[in-house]
Amino acid sequence: MRILTGITPSGTLHIGNYFGAMRPAIELQDRGEAFYFIADYHSMTALTDPVRRRQFTLEIALDWLACGLDPQKAVFWKQSDLPEVCELTWLIGSLTPMGLLERAHSYKDKTAKGISPNFGLFAYPVLMAADILLYDTNLVPVGKDQKQHVEMTRDIAIKFNQTYGETFVVPEEEIRGEVAVVPGLDGQKMSKSYGNTVEIFGDEKALRKKIMGIVMDSRTPAEPKPDAEKNLAIQLLKLVAPADAAADFENRLRAGGLGYGDLKKALFEHYWNYFAPYRVKRAELAANLDYVESVLRDGAQRARATASGVLQRARKACGIE
Ligand code: TYM
């Protein structure tokens, strides 16, 4: 089984990225052939600063490796090291109906917000389909916001196979229910573009301040809260604390008598401890960038061994080779 996922370097990674995609992907690296990459071509629709793109790309490489991506098990590369993906984008894009792309949530959300769309934003799902199809992917671990993109990939693969003959593997998404949408500090989906994130790695003081600043409901904190499970701090605590500790806080909030300050303090401490070992690993990696670059170079080579065969198959199928 081939497992593939990507993360866009358009900002600093947050715990929504970690629990929604990275942790499932890291667990899956023992269950099949793992192919994980940094989607720097995708970042071009959101970011036009080359220095920051380079910096975010390197930081995401450090984040993945620090959190447990094992380059002995997983193939790990930078998307743009295989420009083959752009050729495949054209081959499949030429069969992709405009109507399909017009229905994409991410495109609709961005245009609704007044962002004037360019070709890249419109074609984004086709590039993502090319990422997935180029490696004969079976399974794509992602958060819920990417579900539609994987569905579109399936539609595109099926259409290509019907038009040119059996060429692509038709993939499935894997979305873990409890972390499908990790909420941000304002209760909306946590997102690099909403300014509501808890970063995986960052400055202790600033992160403590962010977490202590979560706005709760206006009822007196010590009052019983029958809907304790809906409390944002409780939801986040369940991700970073041992199950019994999180359940204890939830019960205390439900029964009354638990102050919000104590709850947020516990959330910060558990969050900080959860990532402590990864923080140490990340500092080691940051002092050894040659190693990190060699991992990506080697990954690109290994990725190409698969990609070139699939691309050749697709070119042959449509009569350009
Ligand atoms: P990106 O960079 O926006 O997000 C990376 C991964 O993190 C997940 N995620 C979340 N999961 C749960 N709760 C949240 N609040 C949350 N926020 C983000 C996303 O669902 C995603 O899995 N287009 C993709 C990158 C990409 C890709 C691919 C993914 C490019 N090609 C091929 C899979 C396969 C993106 O921008 O993800």
Query: Does 160 share its domain with 53?
Result: yes
Query: Does 98 share its domain with 235?
Result: no
144 is in an annotated binding site: yes
Segment 262-320, tens digit of pLDDT: 999 999 999 999 999 999 999 999 999 999 999 999 999 999 999 999 999 999 999 99
* CATH (domain of 84): 3.40.50.620
Measured CA to CA, the distance from residue 94 to residue 92 in angstroms comes to: 5
Tell me, using a 6 A CB cutoff, whether residue 181 lines ligand 1. yes
Query: Does 96 share its domain with 226?
Result: no
Query: Does 7 share its domain with 117?
Result: yes
ipTM of predicted complex: 0.98
Tell me, using a 6 A CB cutoff, whether residue 104 lines ligand 1. no
**Contact (CB, 8 A) for 192 and 12:** yes
Secondary structure class of 85 (helix, strand, coil): helix
- The answer to whether residue 199 is domain-embedded is no
* CATH (domain of 246): 1.10.240.10
Segment 8-24, tens digit of pLDDT: 999 999 999 999 999 99
Q: Which atom of ligand 1 is nearest to the CA of 144?
A: 20
Mutate to test the pocket of ligand 1, among 69, 146, 178 (most ligand atoms within 8 A of CB): 146
Q: Which atom of ligand 1 is nearest to the CA of 145?
A: 20
- The answer to whether residue 314 is domain-embedded is yes
Q: What percentage of the chain carries pLDDT values higher than 90?
A: 86
For 169, phi and psi rounded to 5 degrees? -75, 135
143 is in an annotated binding site: yes
Query: Does 63 share its domain with 120?
Result: yes
Looking at the 3D structure of the chain, how many domains does it have?
2
- The answer to whether residue 211 is domain-embedded is yes
For 287, phi and psi rounded to 5 degrees? -90, 0
Looking at the annotation, which residues are catalytic? 110, 189, 192
- The answer to whether residue 296 is domain-embedded is yes
CA distance readout (Å), 235 to 27, 59, 164, 189, 245? 22, 27, 47, 12, 13
Smallest Cα–Cα separation from 301: which of 53, 32, 82, 6?
82
pLDDT at residue 222 in the model: 77
Residues 6+ apart with CB under 8 A from 53: 9, 40, 43, 44, 47
- The answer to whether residue 194 is domain-embedded is no
10 is in an annotated binding site: yes
- The answer to whether residue 255 is domain-embedded is yes
Residue nearest to atom 33 of ligand 1 (CA): 5
What tokens were used for 134?
A: 């180029």
Q: In what order do the strands lie in the sheet with 33-38?
A: 74-78, 33-38, 2-7, 139-141, 172-174
Query: Does 106 share its domain with 145?
Result: yes
What number of CA atoms fall less than 13 Å from residue 232's CA on the CB side? 22
Tell me, using a 6 A CB cutoff, whether residue 137 lines ligand 1. no
Measured CA to CA, the distance from residue 95 to residue 88 in angstroms comes to: 11
Query: Does 54 share its domain with 104?
Result: yes
Measured CA to CA, the distance from residue 20 to residue 141 in angstroms comes to: 8
Measured CA to CA, the distance from residue 171 to residue 169 in angstroms comes to: 6
Measured CA to CA, the distance from residue 230 to residue 113 in angstroms comes to: 28
CA distance readout (Å), 142 to 26, 150, 245, 257? 12, 9, 27, 38
Q: Which atom of ligand 1 is nearest to the CA of 141?
A: 22
Residues 6+ apart with CB under 8 A from 202: 12
Query: Does 311 share its domain with 217?
Result: no
Query: Does 90 share its domain with 229?
Result: no
Q: Which domain holds residue 151?
A: 2-182+288-318
pLDDT at residue 315 in the model: 98
Q: Which atom of ligand 1 is nearest to the CA of 8?
A: 2
Tell me, using a 6 A CB cutoff, whether residue 6 lines ligand 1. yes
- The answer to whether residue 198 is domain-embedded is no
CA distance readout (Å), 315 to 82, 132, 155? 16, 16, 19
Query: Does 64 share its domain with 160?
Result: yes
- CA dihedral over 125, 127, 128, 132, signed as positive or negative: positive
Query: Does 68 share its domain with 208?
Result: no
With bands split at pLDDT 50, 70 and 90, how would you rate the model's confidence at 225? confident
Q: Among 67-81, 222-236, 263-277, 302-316, which is the least confidently predicted range? A: 222-236
- The answer to whether residue 248 is domain-embedded is yes
Query: Does 81 share its domain with 162?
Result: yes
Tell me, using a 6 A CB cutoff, whether residue 200 lines ligand 1. no
